[in-house]
Structure 1
Amino acid sequence: MKIQYVGAAFAALCVSGCVSSGSGDTILAIPREQAAAMSVGQIVLTGRPENVSADFEQVFATQVRQETDRCATGATPLRLEVRVTEFKKANPAMTFLVGDSNVIKGQAVLIDPATGRKVADFDITRSVGGGGLIAAAGMSQAEEQMTEAFGKEICKRAFGV
């Protein structure tokens, strides 16, 4: 009987999935009626942690561009300046056994390039984690996963999508 419980618990652990969460502060928000008229033009990474790959800047720009192209479709382009202050990759073994998370933290600022005026400012923290084989497999592409999550958080905060 004990073996069945252990086997069932092990099976549940193996197929557990990922959980995503976001938090942070909105320092300056774009009014909703103005957000609909805006898009993201240039994406500038002004700071990055030392523990990321040499390709991080390109991965970040690609993933964030894909997300913002979906949510920010207005005619007025803004410059997005991002400073990533923390990036933590989950430990695959810990993810499988007890659950661990990928984490990205940073600041996203949207600037009107015509005036240099800051139109939005957000502190963003995104975490994606879980337990089991499914979560451990999903953690293998941490930079892609977390930069995409960062882009989604920008969409949610700045453009309400």
Structure 2
Amino acid sequence: MTTSDLPVSSPSGLPEGWFAGREAFQQMVRDAFATAAREGWAEILISDANFHDWPLGERAVVESLQAWAKGGRRFTMLAVSYDDVIRRHARFVGWRGTWDHIMTCRKSPAADPLELPSVLWSPGWVMQRLDPVRCAGVAGGEADRRVLVREVLNEWLRSKSSPGFPSTTLGL
């Protein structure tokens, strides 16, 4: 990778352009949530087959989400399965329980895990893993990219998913 291949920064400081590698991907997720808290994004939508590679359980990520969360904000998650989230991201699961009133969690258990988009979407910036296996993708704030990705996600949310990942589990 040459210096001309490295992502440039957007006005918000988030990278724009191609990225590759698990560490680069995870840092972009951390930076996006920190930026969301700092800039007060109204909405965050994340989608992935299982969120296995996402740093959702890290203290810094949950602290960023805690600073971001307020009334009027919306957080949407879409996954094939939430088993890895529950198993690997205990801090996030606790945060999710507290902020259930601003969250919508959907699942699509019949979906091919490689077909479900791996995306972090916001009104001003989007990061999409085009190759989840190699953690490679593209990020940016271009309006056409944000609109296209949101349309794809809306289709999944509307017609290819159902409620999932309850904030509490009831038992007998």
Output the TM-score relative to the length of structure 2: 0.25
Output the TM-score relative to the length of structure 1: 0.26
Q: Which has the larger radius of gyration?
A: 1
Higher strand share: 1
